[in-house]
Amino acid sequence: EIFIISRGTWFYDGTWGPVEEMKADRIELEHLTHFRGHLMTSQKVDDTTKEVVHSLSLPEGEVDWFSASEVYLSSDATPSRLMRSVGKKFGFQKTGYKLHRGYSIDATSSDKPPDINHIVFVIHGIGQKMERGRIIKNCTALRENISYLKHKYFPSIVNSSHTVEFFPVEWRSSLVLDAGVIDSITPQKILNLRQMLNASFMDIMYYNSPLYRDEIITGLTGEMNRLYTMFTQRNPYFEANGGKVSMVAHSLGCVITYDIVTGWNPAQQFDQQLVHSLFDQIDKSRELKTTSQISLKKNLQDILLQHDSKRLQPSLNFKIENFFCLGSPLAVFLALRTKHSQGATPDIIPQKLCKRLLNIFHPADPVAYRIEPLLCPEYSNIAPVLIHSYNAAEKIHYSEMPLEPIIVSREKDREGWDKSRADSGNNTPVSSVPSTPVKGGTSSWSLWGLMKGSKKPAEAGANSLELLSALQDAKGLSDRTDFVLREGSMENSYISAITSHTAYWNNYDVSHFLLSILYPDIVSTVYKPEVAKP
């Protein structure tokens, strides 16, 4: 939806609605031509028989000036013409709508929206070619949710000087990529389905292709730099006041954005591996003398540096404060790129490039994966942080939430297996422990899940000790990275597997979580400190 934003010059008396822009421009030009330098007095002229000093004919009617401050607009409609003719017969000249030059209230330096000091780029994933402009709709939905939560739960944010603005980044539709080659080789059978797959999942193939990857990287980087430059030109105070930039990326957009921020390039990685392999061969060679080895290594390094300088991909013109990943497969890409030794803590994204990485996902999202086990292997046994419900009465601050072991709930699978056994006539009893109600829902991440299911108490207790021991050893992360949404009590996992990947934009819990990170000082006041249980 497009809105015209213009500066009002002339206004109607009473309602103080602005005169239409084209009409106001004609009136303003005529007014400056004949009344420039005249005093604009607010004193009302009572002489109704005063003569018209100037008139302007417009397609919609006529504008009459009785003085520099007495201006009337008369419509060209038949009733208005009749009213003017009757008024003139009785000696009344002023008919129509009175116009005012300028608004009823004088402008002040404080009469403006608060300065924007934090912008958030919203980046889409796959499928944008299939539905062009969808990221704009998704960003609008995110804005509306955040605006609703601010006005309902955080009125102090509305009145604060800290303002965050969201900008959609549409990078896919402007790319040419294969220039229609994929469409030309697509069979005609079930064409609609094939075209849908070409317009969505083919983006993953494009990005993994060395031929088209650089075009995607350049396209997204250029679009973000263009938006940032446009914003800073129109808001010159932003950088001077220490403005911050964050990103909200979805699906494949998380991977592309990560590679842009870190500068990761598979071609450079391959070249470095090749040169290191050559170095090893040179060191093992007994035929080469020491001086020849040093000279050959230096030449190879020079060639690699020259080659890498030509391959440098474009970088962003700004630094990242927070990087929010929604339904992200980034962990899979990272796991397949590097061999992780046991106990290693790879530096996924340095803090000098991005202060914090936050991975948000729905438990049934088949595309989303966890990142924390890559940072610290022990966290594979620790549940991600459960995101608070936006309307929960009491909330513990995320930094104070305790670590909990992962308990994979198999109650539903067990029930289905027991039912199938009963149907087949096998009535062998299965030992189980009665389930215990859990405050706040039946989340599979809860420690209470260990007490439920088909395991015997002794076996459950042993596993509990092992998991709690793993918790004590897991001290590698200062800030949590993985955050999981709550599943609804009536939510079906199979249906959620289809719908959850695209449901982040309209989720109030996601919007509330973003608010808690973007407005930490204000939102943290509503969190309750954790109370130790006796």
Tens of pLDDT, residues 53-100: 898 988 878 898 988 888 998 876 545 455 545 444 444 455 578 899
Would you kindly state where each structural domain of the chain is located, as residue ranges? 10-101, 116-265+314-403+476-526, 272-312, 411-473
pLDDT confidence band for 194 (50 / 70 / 90): confident
pLDDT (0 to 100) of residue 421 = 44
pLDDT-wise least confident of 37-41, 464-468, 495-499: 464-468
**Most confident range, picked from 26-40, 73-87, 343-357, 496-510:** 496-510
Binned at pLDDT 50, 70 and 90, residue 218 comes out as very high
**What's the rounded Cα separation, in Å, for the pair 400 and 270?**
42
pLDDT of residue 419: 44
pLDDT at 533 over 50: no
Quick one: pLDDT at residue 394? 83
Highest mean pLDDT: which range of 177-181, 189-193, 416-420, 497-501: 497-501
The average pLDDT across 472-479 equals: 67
Average pLDDT, the chain: 78
CATH code for the part of the protein at 116-265+314-403+476-526 = 3.40.50.1820
Task: Judge whether residue 295 has pLDDT over 70.
Answer: no
Rounded (to 5) percent helix, strand, coil in the chain: 45, 15, 45
How far, in Å, CA of 229 to CA of 317, rounded?
8
Mean pLDDT of 291-306: 62
Helices (H), 391-499: 411-423, 457-473, 493-499
The pLDDT, as a whole number, for residue 303 is 64
pLDDT > 50? residue 430: no
pLDDT at residue 450, as a whole number: 36
Q: Is the pLDDT of residue 330 over 80?
A: yes
- Active-site residue identified among 74, 75, 161, 251: 251
Backbone dihedral angles phi then psi of residue 124, each to the nearest 5 degrees: -85, 170
Is residue 271 predicted with pLDDT exceeding 80?
no
Query: Does pLDDT of 211 surpass 90?
Result: no
As a whole number, mean pLDDT of residues 331-358 equals 81
Q: Which among 229, 237, 245 is positioned nearest to 120, based on CA atoms?
A: 245
251 is catalytic: yes
Tell if the pTM clears 0.75, that is, is over it.
no
Residue 195: pLDDT band by 50, 70, 90 thresholds? Answer: confident
Predicted pLDDT of residue 74: 83
- pLDDT, average across residues 483-496: 85
Higher local confidence (pLDDT), 192 or 131: 192
Interacting residues of 177 by C-beta distance below 8 A, sequence separation 6+: 206, 212, 215, 216
Query: Would you say residue 459 has pLDDT above 80?
Result: no
Confidence of residue 420 (pLDDT cuts 50, 70, 90): very low
Mean of the pLDDT values across residues 144-152?
A: 94
Phi/psi of residue 359, each to 5°? -105, 110
Averaged pLDDT, 405-421: 51
